[in-house]
Structure 1
Amino acid sequence: MLLVDKQTPGFSGTMDRSDRPPPYMDIPNTPEPRHSNGNALAQVRHAVRMLAPPPTVNQIHLEARNEPISGTFYIDPQIPSLSLGKKKKKCRKHRASDASFQSHKGPISLELGTTGSVSRTQRATVNVTTRSGDVSLNLLPIHPSQPRMGLDVYSRKGNTLLYIPPTFSGVIHLTTRKGELTMLPRLSAQMKILKWTNKEVLVMVGSQSVNSTGKAPDADLCQLKSHSGNIVVGLVGEDKYSPADGFWKKIGEFFNGGL
């Protein structure tokens, strides 16, 4: 919800009617406004906004039961976490991750990126967990100088859809007990298969030299797990997943329409 402050200018005191100016006055020697200067100023302001760095966060931990969780987050693992006093136990629980998002039944829809320097912190860690909610994730492009992405996702009954950017370089590990695992065509053409069964898929993507655990320097790592939910992974901007209806249709509209 957007809140706008409205201020109504006013004045106190009285003014004699004879002292008031006439309704219309000719103001001599008043130059016409130069629209070109206004346009130039607007362009400069737009350029400044475009050059401004994205807002970054660290130690953000969102929880909901039935409500949806959505948004765009740039994680900087170098930002120190703040002590929350009474919530110390909760902080200790999430200490291993830079950001976490958890729901019981509500869907989770996120765009995730990183900022900072990879020379100081190699990877930002993000945990996404839900019991029966559906999960849709879009990883944003990462510059080689920025920390890589460490993503851990679990949905017991819900479906998971993940899009990775062309800059992704690392390991993708999918596991399920009763669900289906799907790698979309354009991503499949670029990945190297390390293991492929009905219950587990382990692949490498990108030209980065990493091992199968994704623990080599400057490597992305995505681990997606489910009990009975389906998991789909594709390449953003190239792969398209078009399910007939329900959740997957809404997710397609979410990514294609606004983000």
Structure 2
Amino acid sequence: LQQLRETLPLLPPDPYLLLNPDAWHSHNEQLRPLPELAQVLDDISQAADGVDLVGFYAAGPISRGFASSSGAFGWHRANSFNFDFSLFHANGEAVKASYAGHTWNSAEFAARFQQAREQLAFLGRPLHTLAPGQYRAYLAPAALEEIISIITWGGFSAQAIASKGSSLQRLYAGDQSLSPLVTVDEQISGSLSQAFSTEGYPREDVTLINAGKAEGQLVNSRSAAEYGLNTNGASSDESPSALQMAAGSLAQADILKQLGTGLYISNL
């Protein structure tokens, strides 16, 4: 700490350093009981009977804290689990799946595993070569998540939008729009993410895309100072950490009927 204090006077002024002088307080603990490991292992071993499985199971609390000399104090702790696994076919192909959340439900896990088993059976069928062209397609949640994760690399960043480097630049400029069924939020409340940033600003829920049109953006303190915006506690790279997409209206059982002869893309 003394070395940092001695170095500080040697540094040039930072015009975009915007410290938060407010003495805010935030306290959130989501202490839902974690599943018993014996039950988890028993459920996995029963579901995986007769298949080639490899996976990782992680469970425990996530804790984050912040305190400043201005009197701000934040504390966050949440329990969660994640089972990330793959089922392998004899031909070397694999189905990747996961089951994660706050509360382990044996019936829900069994249903999720059974879906992966059914997808595994398709990998043994003959391959079909698709000719170039346009196809009606359904993106399963895992496939859509991979597309969304690419968009989060600066897509909603205030700095990227202001410097014309966002992958969603035309959406934020109003030149393009998505389906009115698409609504995307940064949903901090009730999530595993803490309600404060590492820079010492409270975080809040932000509607990023509303009915297919760009609405909000993620603004950290540096972007707020540089572009005259109000910070909403975004991270240093202004990427989302609790992204939520509004649900659609298509029931799981009706997907193939609606798709017809199109493409069902389970994973990218």
TM-score, length of structure 1 as denominator length: 0.21
Identify, as 1 or 2, the structure richer in helix: 2
* Higher Rg of the two aligned structures: 1
Query: Which of structures 1 and 2 has the larger relative contact order (alpha carbons within 8 angstroms, sep 6+)?
Result: 2
Q: Which has the higher strand share?
A: 1
Relative to the length of structure 2, the TM-score reads: 0.21
